[in-house]
A and B are shown apart, each in its own frame.
Chain A
Amino acid sequence: MDRDTGLRRVTALTVALVAASVAGTIGVGAAAYATHNSSASATSPDETSATTGTADSSGSATTDWPSLSGGRADSGQATSGGS
């Protein structure tokens, strides 16, 4: 094998290794992105409402939220605080 042939083989091997490395990096990135998106979609508050919502207490799941209004500061019937 002459010197030129040896150089071509080394170059081809280097290119192949770089290509494999880039492909691997992209693959890992894609997997991480998919995992991140999966996690994010699993934490949608709408899903929380639908899956832990009124189905437990009244039998009908819903994805909206109750409408609150304010009141006089001295008119509470119960307290919601840390417990």
Chain B
Amino acid sequence: MLIETLPVGDDTAQWSVWGTVARIVVTDPAHLARATDIVTAQLAAVDAACSRFREDSELTLAYRRAGGRPVTVSPLLADLVAAALRAARVTGGDVDPTVGAALNGLGYDRDFAAITGRVVAPAVRVFPAPDWRAVELRDRELTVPDGVLLDLGATAKAVAADRAAAQVARRLGIGVMVALGGDIATAGPAPEGGWRVLVQDRPGDPCCIVRLPAGAALATSSTAVRRWGRPGELLHHIVDPRTGRPAPPVWRTVSVAAHSCLAANTLSTAAIVRGHAATGLLHTVPSRLVTPDLDVLRLGGWPS
């Protein structure tokens, strides 16, 4: 999980959620408490809608009710599924929400905190078949083929950051930065000079500070965190849908800036999955790629 080492001032709130750190920074400290309430409520709503670890999430209940048939879902779950399917389409399937069964087969079948430090059973390779193209969403009518398990984790966290930041800015009329581990969204006016973000995967890794203009977002994907398994078989959470296995760690860390956290996260995750071909994907995009040897590659105008 992210290790947040930055100080918490009177404009900042921070707490643990989803096995990582949630942190918000506001331009007006007088509104910090209300902003925190808004963000907390938004994260709770997203969790209740699409967690694959909760027996009572709307997504889990929908599987049981539907049995492969169409089911009407809430506007929020429809938005989250739509975002995941768009990410799959624009990445040609690199970011595929149907990897839920593959992740379960690898042992990531519960909240990550419950896996940490536990020796899991040998990994079972499960191919997402059929893949994301078999999932249908028409307005709020969702059809998931029987046996397919959706994992909306990556895109849902990014969407949650986007939605939470937008709601705080709209309801309170202030500037805000919402950080959920690697996923950072901003909305409303930025502080003078922009939002300052420390980009660093693990303590001791290469780091830098970037300034985000108002409305910009940043996402970091990593093969160095959320690792589990046992000696000789350490796994990570970014699965290549084409192999059903964690993507080879060509990159230790990929960070991408975009105008939404969803777009940034989609590209950073796809870059991990693509490996060496990621540079072709990101050559015009502000991005920072770190190799397992901790060499840093900056693309698309990422500041040095």
Interface of A with B (CB < 8 Å)? 39-40, 42-49, 51-58, 62, 64-73, 75-83
Measured between beta carbons, the chain A residues less than 8 angstroms from B89 are: 42, 51
Q: Are B263 and A52 in contact, CB atoms less than 8 angstroms apart? A: yes
B142 within 8 A of A: no
Find residues 99-119 in chain B having any chain A CB closer than 8 Å to their own CB.
none
Interface of B with A (CB < 8 Å)? 1-6, 12, 19-21, 23, 25, 79, 83, 86-87, 89-92, 94, 159, 162-163, 165-166, 177, 179-185, 187, 193-202, 205, 207-213, 215-226, 253, 255, 257-263, 266-267, 270, 281-282, 284-286, 300-304
Minimum CB–CB distance from A76 to chain B (whole Å) comes to 3
In the bound complex, CA of A43 to CA of B207 (Å): 28
Provide 17 A-B residue pairs closer than 8 Å at the C-beta atoms, listed in order of the A residue: A42-B91, A52-B266, A57-B215, A66-B286, A67-B213, A68-B210, A71-B193, A78-B23, A79-B5, A79-B199, A80-B199, A80-B200, A81-B3, A83-B19, A83-B180, A83-B183, A83-B225
Which 5 A-B residue pairs are closest in the complex by CB-CB distance?
A83-B181, A82-B222, A76-B198, A82-B225, A66-B216
In the bound complex, CA of A57 to CA of B36 (Å): 18
Minimum CB–CB distance from B151 to chain A (whole Å) comes to 16
Residue of B nearest to A68 (CB): B210
Residue of B nearest to A41 (CB): B92
Known contacts A48-B90, A65-B285, A70-B210: A81-B182 contact under CB 8 Å: yes
Interface SS of chain A: loop
Measured between beta carbons, the chain B residues less than 8 angstroms from A76 are: 6, 196-198, 209
Q: Are B211 and A57 in contact, CB atoms less than 8 angstroms apart? A: no
Residue from A40, A49, A51, A68 whose CB has the most chain B CB atoms within 10 Å = A68
Partner of B222 from A45, A49, A83 at Cβ < 8 Å: A83
Residue of A nearest to B224 (CB): A82
Minimum CB–CB distance from A8 to chain B (whole Å) comes to 51
In the bound complex, CA of A67 to CA of B181 (Å): 22
Minimum CB–CB distance from B59 to chain A (whole Å) comes to 19
Q: Are A71 and B284 in contact, CB atoms less than 8 angstroms apart? A: no
Measured between beta carbons, the chain A residues less than 8 angstroms from B210 are: 68-71
In the bound complex, CA of A75 to CA of B267 (Å): 26
Partner of B181 from A40, A47, A81 at Cβ < 8 Å: A81
Measured between beta carbons, the chain A residues less than 8 angstroms from B21 are: 83
Partner of A79 from B83, B197, B258 at Cβ < 8 Å: B197
In the bound complex, CA of A34 to CA of B23 (Å): 46
Q: Are B225 and A42 in contact, CB atoms less than 8 angstroms apart? A: no
Q: Are A57 and B165 in contact, CB atoms less than 8 angstroms apart? A: yes
Q: Are A83 and B25 in contact, CB atoms less than 8 angstroms apart? A: no
Q: Are A45 and B281 in contact, CB atoms less than 8 angstroms apart? A: yes
Q: Are A56 and B159 in contact, CB atoms less than 8 angstroms apart? A: yes
Measured between beta carbons, the chain A residues less than 8 angstroms from B209 are: 70-73, 75-76
Q: Are A65 and B196 in contact, CB atoms less than 8 angstroms apart? A: no
In the bound complex, CA of A82 to CA of B272 (Å): 12
In the bound complex, CA of A43 to CA of B300 (Å): 17
Residue of B nearest to A70 (CB): B303
6 additional A-B pairs beyond A43-B91, A56-B163, A73-B207, beta carbons within 8 Å, are A43-B92, A43-B270, A49-B263, A51-B89, A57-B185, A82-B2
Minimum CB–CB distance from A31 to chain B (whole Å) comes to 17
Q: Are A53 and B301 in contact, CB atoms less than 8 angstroms apart? A: no
Known contacts A65-B284, A69-B303, A81-B199: A56-B1 contact under CB 8 Å: no
